[in-house]
Amino acid sequence: MPDGINNHQAQGGAAPQFDAIIVGAGFSGLYQLHQLRDQLGLNVLVIEAGDDVGGTWYWNRYPGARCDSESHYYSYSFSRALQEEWRWSERYPEHGEIRRYLAHVADRFDLRRNISLNTRLTAARWDEAGNRWLIDTDTRGTLSATVFITAVGCLSAANIPQIPGLDTFKGAWHHTGRWPHQGVDFTGKRVGLIGTGSTGIQATPVIAQQAAQLTVFQRTANYSIPARNRPLTDEEWSEIQDSYEAIRERARSSTNGHPFVIFDKSALDVSPAERSRRYEEAWARGGLGFRAAFNDLLKNPAANATASDFIRAKIAEIVRDPATAAKLTPTDHPFASKRPPVDTDYFDTFNRANVTLVDIKATPIERIEARGIQTTETLHELDIIVFATGFDALTGPLLALEISGAGGHNLRQDWAAGPRSYLGLQPPHYPNMFTITGPGSPSVLTNMPVAIEQHTQWITACISYMRAHGFVRIETSEEEAGTWVAKVNAAANATLLPMANSSWYLGANVPGKPRVFMPYAGGMAHYARICDEVARDGYRGFTLSRARQVA
Ligand code: N01
């Protein structure tokens, strides 16, 4: 049993009290715990539903699951010793390696004693009289904390489409974000995979190698850039170690939290020959850095069209059957207006004899039945269905917590028309609550650890300030949230991001979800400056109160 958890509840006593309760033991929750406990000396508890640390990576274990950010910067930067002792094995970290890294962090900083595993938060309620949060859990009764911090990730609520007849399917089915820990054996099986986002694009080539037959059901064709994954050599690793501080600094001062050097010219300001040379080089290097080939790919439609056309031409080159190549070619949105996937042999996989592509815009899925998936054209007989259908992103994990705030407010109702939050850090009417990488912050538009470190450090500094000045309550207002939401919209509208109608950034992938652009697209470094200025101005936009004012 972690420190600080006692059995008052079982004995009918008051809810066990903590200075802070954090939900989630992934990248965010672990570092937030370390800071609050070891820097500020607070009594902190992390609640985690899984049976180990890892967060998003605890659940995402599907074949081919690895991060699209490169390993040496998809990691914490706060501890030089940690950075020096952990050696990543490949250019992109595979899911198991990320879990081993996070387990190492938990052990190294002795975090486990303040983490309650196998514990699910069932509701969180603001107690006005006590000026505290009451946190209901499934295994430990009700706990109480002055500060409530959500570290639940942005992509953790699985989106499983309501396709009629799924319950009648005689085979097995799995969502990639809830993958069985023991793995799934595809040997000799007829597999159907629905979804061609980053996940489906990673899983398709790996499943194709094992399955007897793979049928990929595609709703929207996607752009994808080769990842060019490979083992990191000792020489590369020592170069990374030598320049680590500069790499970290570049990532922190960038738009997306990646240490890319963005070429300082428009795609339209160079000759066609140079443009094509640069795209070829970026394609050969591989990875999300393709977006840095020019400085206006996400701002100028004509510039973007040159990148989109380049990738379309690559698809036509790689995929031998012209009809399949045509189906795989995206035409309805500009490159990178949806989160761009990176892949290992994705397009080439459609040259395999055991792989079929079904365009479900042309021949939609009608239902699932005992033997497989019935489209308007035919019945695809299957043994296993894989749902690579993504997540109820950003708001889904928060709304699942059933949070009630001050004055009878309820987050589900408050966000019925879209998330409202100041800086993506706190919604109005939810005092002393902080949302790490919440909607309205750069979050999913960045390399996540950069956004996570910035948010957790800001929250730690804020709590430290409150304690130093005798404040016990911090809250924001409807007005501040409204102004910030307008900035989030304006930042998105200055880019091509809203041009993708089916993007999960807009909530468009979940039926009935309000279509609101959720992450802040104004850039990570710019956002961090705004947060710093807010703090420097005595937490402008927040109201801080001392105990007697609260009572
Ligand atoms: O999910 P997605 P994902 N019927 O929403 C389709 C991160 N990630 O899990 O485009 C049929 O992107 C849907 O079709 P459409 C990364 O940020 C990171 O792939 O909506 N199809 C789409 O093709 C990524 O962006 C890593 O028309 C349906 C697919 O399912 C995010 O997670 C690795 C459907 C879902 O694509 C989400 O990626 C993997 C339906 N009813 C993922 N509903 C890293 O490396 C949805 N689809 C860190």
| CA-219 nearest atom, ligand 1 | 27
List the 384-387 sheet strands across, edge first. 172-175, 384-387, 190-194, 213-218, 355-359
Q: Residue 502 corresponds to which tokens in the numbers above?
A: 């089916």
Residue numbers in the chain where pLDDT is lower than 50: 1-11, 551
Q: Is the CB–ligand 1 distance for residue 161 below 6 Å?
A: yes
pLDDT recorded at residue 550: 53
CA dist list (Å): 183 to 59, 160, 514, 551? 12, 19, 35, 54
Q: Of the residues 60, 90, 389, which should be mutated to test ligand 1's pocket, given the most ligand atoms within 8 Å of the CB? A: 389
pLDDT recorded at residue 501: 86
| CA-387 nearest atom, ligand 1 | 30
Tell the residue nearest (CA) to atom 5 of ligand 1.
390
Cβ contact 549:514 at 8 Å: no
pLDDT recorded at residue 163: 97
> CA Rg, the chain, in Å?
24
pLDDT recorded at residue 3: 41
Helix, strand, coil shares of the chain as percentages rounded to 5? Answer: 35, 20, 45
| CA-162 nearest atom, ligand 1 | 41
Q: Is the CB–ligand 1 distance for residue 67 below 6 Å?
A: yes
Q: Using one digit for the tens of pLDDT, what is the confidence trace for 430-459?
A: 999 999 999 999 999 999 999 999 999 999
Q: Is the CB–ligand 1 distance for residue 522 below 6 Å?
A: no
The span from the CA of 493 to the CA of 141, in Å, is: 45
The span from the CA of 349 to the CA of 528, in Å, is: 41
Q: Which amino acid is at 496?
A: L
Q: Is the CB–ligand 1 distance for residue 156 below 6 Å?
A: no
Q: Is the CB–ligand 1 distance for residue 333 below 6 Å?
A: no
The span from the CA of 30 to the CA of 355, in Å, is: 41
How many Å lie between the centroid of ligand 1 and the Cα of residue 505?
11
The span from the CA of 194 to the CA of 388, in Å, is: 6
The span from the CA of 212 to the CA of 383, in Å, is: 10
Tell the residue nearest (CA) to atom 44 of ligand 1.
67
Strands 372-375 and 142-150: unpaired
The span from the CA of 350 to the CA of 436, in Å, is: 39
495: left (phi over 0), alpha (psi -120 to 50) or beta: beta
pLDDT recorded at residue 282: 98
Q: Is the CB–ligand 1 distance for residue 344 below 6 Å?
A: no
Tell the residue nearest (CA) to atom 43 of ligand 1.
389
Q: Is the CB–ligand 1 distance for residue 224 below 6 Å?
A: no
pLDDT recorded at residue 549: 53
Tell the residue nearest (CA) to atom 46 of ligand 1.
389
Q: Is the CB–ligand 1 distance for residue 195 below 6 Å?
A: yes
In angstroms, the first-to-last Cα distance of the chain is 34
Cβ contact 339:368 at 8 Å: no
How many Å lie between the centroid of ligand 1 and the Cα of residue 391?
7
Q: Residue 422 corresponds to which tokens in the numbers above?
A: 């100041």
Cβ contact 405:429 at 8 Å: yes
How many other β-carbons are positioned within 10 Å of the β-carbon of residue 545?
Answer: 17
How many other β-carbons are positioned within 10 Å of the β-carbon of residue 367?
Answer: 13
Cα-Cα-Cα-Cα torsion 528, 531, 535, 536, nearest 10 degrees, comes to: 60
Q: Using one digit for the tens of pLDDT, what is the confidence trace for 6-64?
A: 333 434 568 999 999 999 999 999 999 999 999 999 999 999 999 999 999 999 999 99
How many other β-carbons are positioned within 10 Å of the β-carbon of residue 469?
Answer: 10
Q: Is the CB–ligand 1 distance for residue 93 below 6 Å?
A: no
Q: Of the residues 58, 163, 199, which should be mutated to test ligand 1's pocket, given the most ligand atoms within 8 Å of the CB? A: 199
The span from the CA of 129 to the CA of 132, in Å, is: 8
Q: Using one digit for the tens of pLDDT, what is the confidence trace for 520-542?
A: 999 999 999 999 999 999 999 99
How many Å lie between the centroid of ligand 1 and the Cα of residue 194?
10
Q: Which amino acid is at 281?
A: E
**β-strand partners of 434:** 149
pLDDT recorded at residue 322: 98
The span from the CA of 169 to the CA of 382, in Å, is: 9
Query: What is the CATH superfamily name and number for domain 17-157+393-470?
Result: FAD/NAD(P)-binding domain (3.50.50.60)
Average pLDDT of every residue of the chain: 96
Q: Is the CB–ligand 1 distance for residue 197 below 6 Å?
A: yes
How many Å lie between the centroid of ligand 1 and the Cα of residue 425?
25
Cβ contact 229:70 at 8 Å: no
Q: Is the CB–ligand 1 distance for residue 449 below 6 Å?
A: no
Q: Is the CB–ligand 1 distance for residue 401 below 6 Å?
A: no
What phi and psi values does residue 469 have, to the nearest 5 degrees?
-105, 10
pLDDT recorded at residue 453: 98
